Structure 1
Amino acid sequence: MRRECSIWRINPKDVLPEAPKLFSDTFVLMYSRQMSILAMAASSAALGLATREDVVAFHKKVLQAAVKLQDLTRSLMLKQGTYIRPPFIPTPDKVDFVEKQQFLNAFFGKKRALTVVEITHLFLNVQTNAIGKALITGFGQIAKSEEVKQFLKRGKQIAQKHMEIFSGYLLKEDLPAPMSWDAAVMDFTSSIFSDKLMMFLTSAMIAAGVGNHGMGMAASPRKDLGFQYASLIPEIALYAEDGANIMIKNGWMEEPLQADDKDQLMDS
């Protein structure tokens, strides 16, 4: 058990355990559930790529821990009545096939109804942006650096914009959109987490956002949806770059392993 817990170990200098809570318990559950989804996705991909037995074993442990966390948070939220269920679509009694190219087009004329896969990704993107917005709102309240504060404020605006865009597609189809988590942020303003840790967690959410938008674009046959996702990804990418620059400037970004520069080696 100790070895499993060490996977998630955080530097004590980055957290003040005695401080009042910054987020509601329900939000912490929702955020933990979201992090378990990211961990499952990352470790599943790693298991398909890793060769060394010890690396495979490590990612199996991470995956098992993430699945356990996902099950625990979902079960507890269902028991509490706080689990946000996605829209329900009646199960068809037969299989239909696409007969017209209009199925793909949505720029002119009447738009077809959203597919369940398109609905799923729209719902997911609203939900993750709502979680991200609440997270960086809380972080912005306690950040020490003015540069970090301004970065987080900008992220809050981007998240709100994306929530409104994706929610609009669902509401036009008379489908429910996920709720906002703004009320889950407490009014505490003293330091709880280090700016370094908050920037790291924010960067993780940004990376997840880019991935979610990309998956949504790939899974959306309707052209207007695909173009919408594509138009929003550059905005997130530029925001991510600005965050990386802040982390580099402050010495917070660990440099990943790189391939050897053969030209440089030849010149040395």
Structure 2
Amino acid sequence: MAITFKTPADIEMMRVAGRLTAEVLDMLAEHVKPGVTTEQLDKLAHDMIVHEQKAIPAPLNYAPNGYKPYPKSICASINHQVCHGIPNDRPLKNGDIVNLDVTVIKDGWHGDSSRMYVVGEGSIAAKRLCQITFDAMWKGIAKVRPGARLGDIGHAIQTFAESQGYSIVREFCGHGIGRKFHEEPQVLHYGRPGTLEELVPGMVFTIEPMVNAGRREIKEMGDGWTIVTKDRSLSAQWEHTVVVTETGYEVLTVSDRTPPPPAFITAPGA
């Protein structure tokens, strides 16, 4: 399947979808606390997307080939859950970490982003994992520019995460996005520099590394969606949607309260 390149008008539409996605994640932040269930978070997100934003939650009833329809409007992955956790009635506990993954469709265009949240007082180890994963995502984003290659992104993420003592999940990757939820190219979070597809202005894709505190091996749970670490170690993920511009990149999933880039992004030679 070929990569679809986005026009300036397309990218403007994706900025809107991306901003709406980020605003849902902003809203959820104040509700992530002990005693709240991920089902409640899902309902808050669903109601905001549908009733306030007049948009569509992309995950709801999403059914790629071989999967049963996803039953909720967001993904909520707690502690050793790597991705695609289904919101349920289990109350969040003090010290949990949770990834909330939101994808909004507005006027036919997708915005896709996820963030980590620490419930109450998290451990030093849990907070460090979340921070290193955030930095790893940005190490990848910083490599996006015309003429670079997808392997440069994966290599930057992998070498940074592994240098911090963590492992990278390899079975899931970032992806092209636009009018479809998942398009070409696949964006691996590991690899060798100078390999894979060359980046060209107008390419839009997600960068969404999944970083494990223990080993990288994962398994799928019986619900057909939830992915967990085999060794039950903590896992974290951050995600942004980015576009390749004429001079570098633009992050499309931003709002007034999006966590700012780490200091090394604006540092000389970054």
Q: Indicate the TM-score class for this superposition, using the shorter chain for normalisation.
A: under 0.3
Higher strand share: 2
Instruction: Using structure 1 for the length normalisation, give the TM-score.
Output: 0.26
User: Larger % of helix: which?
Assistant: 1
Bigger CA radius of gyration: 1
